[in-house]
Amino acid sequence: MSSFDPGFFEPKDPVPLVRTALGSCFANGWAAFVTAATLLLPATALSLGFSYVIGRTGALEELMSVQGGQIDPTKVNMSEFFGSILIVAGGGLVVVGVWLLSAFSAAAAVGRMLAERALGRRYGPAEAWDFVVGKAFRLIGGGIVQGVVLFVGYIIASIPASIVAVIVIAATGSMASGGKPPAAVQAISPVLVLPILAIVATYLASMPASVAVEDLGGISAVFRSFRLVSGNFRRAVTAMVLGGLIAIVPVGVVQMVLQFGFQKQLTEALGAGPGMLAVQGPATILGLLTWPILFTVQAFIYFDLRSRQTEADFTPYELTLEVGGELPEGIQDPFVGSAVPGPPSADHSTPSDMSRG
């Protein structure tokens, strides 16, 4: 019979939470990392293929040239122009959709793995894969709902960003020449949009684990995640930002350096398709290595928020009821009134870092 890990059921401040998540991602033979990275492989391969296609066809370059005023719109071949739109928009939509579903499944699988290990059970990538296959429809539904909420958040955030950009352009006359907006104007959108998306992502952080642990549907998981974060937003967003600094910022830095510093040289030296792959590929592959860390942080945010609830207990007994299986050692069944004897050191004064098998 298993012995539970009390560290999962105790509140943590954001920094210790992220530190524990980082260790847990690579503990137990890198089980959580391997699980998440494996589930992200199809989306990563599709993204790399898409990068090659848009470089090979020149679709993205054509659209950017028209948008930046480098090509006279009256001289554009409309059939080729709409073909470029179809390649970029259609292909991009497929890539984003597959990535969102893969990421949601990976985050849910990590959440389930950590829940099982919180109860002292051995749970590796093979068991996580079986879980994903068995809950495929539920995970797909959850991923779709999460994607819709993120998209709505992006649209809402884009409205004030667009208004501010138009006002700045009108006031400064920066588009009078018909050229490309200056960098200051282009920076308005990310400066205003990213914080709002970070807030939305924080309220959705517990959604994958809610589906995996509590077996909720997509809509129910959204409300569950929002309820968990409410009242503890500062802690949750701090942990998400710290996790994002580890998992997302390096990817963005690599992407920006290659795109703005070496894209012209790489495409000239390697050709359009391979050059675009060389520009986009390193950041895409780096994301495959860093996103599992953020998924693990999300799972620990879920455990932390549940441990802080006042309206419901979060104990090994409650968790066992949700995921199934035998009660861990030392946990009392309140309906039976007896506890399974635990080991002499069952008090565990410090949270575990999950370095045990």
Q: For 49-60, what is each residue's pLDDT tens digit?
A: 999 998 888 877
Residue 50 in any domain: the answer is yes
Q: What is the DSSP string of 142-154?
A: HHHHHHHHHHHHH
| pLDDT for 11 beyond 80 | yes
Would you state the pLDDT for residue 88?
85
**Sign of the CA dihedral with 244 first, then 141, 315, and 204 last:** positive
Q: Are the beta carbons of 242 and 14 closer than 8 angstroms? A: yes
| pLDDT for 344 beyond 50 | no
What are the residues whose beta carbons fall under 8 Å from the beta carbon of 241, sequence distance 6 or more?
Answer: 198
Q: Provide the pLDDT confidence category of residue 354 given band limits of 50, 70 and 90.
A: very low
**pTM recorded for the entire structure:** 0.85
Residue 338 in any domain: the answer is no
Please name which of 357, 304, 251, 253 lies closest in space to residue 19, comparing C-alpha atoms. 304
Count of domains for the chain = 1
233-282 residue pLDDT tens: 999 999 999 999 999 999 999 998 998 888 888 888 888 889 889 999 99
Residue 17 in any domain: the answer is yes
Domain carrying residue 218: 13-309
Would you state the pLDDT for residue 319?
94
Residue 332 in any domain: the answer is no
Would you state the pLDDT for residue 348?
41
Residue 342 in any domain: the answer is no
| pLDDT for 84 beyond 60 | yes
For the chain, the average pLDDT equals 85
Would you state the pLDDT for residue 174?
55
Q: Provide the pLDDT confidence category of residue 63 given band limits of 50, 70 and 90.
A: low
Residue type, 291: W
Would you state the pLDDT for residue 310?
78
Residue 211 in any domain: the answer is yes
Residue 331 in any domain: the answer is no
Orientation of helix 136-172 relative to helix 218-229, angle to 10°: 60
Would you state the pLDDT for residue 347?
43
Residue 166 in any domain: the answer is yes
Would you state the pLDDT for residue 96?
93
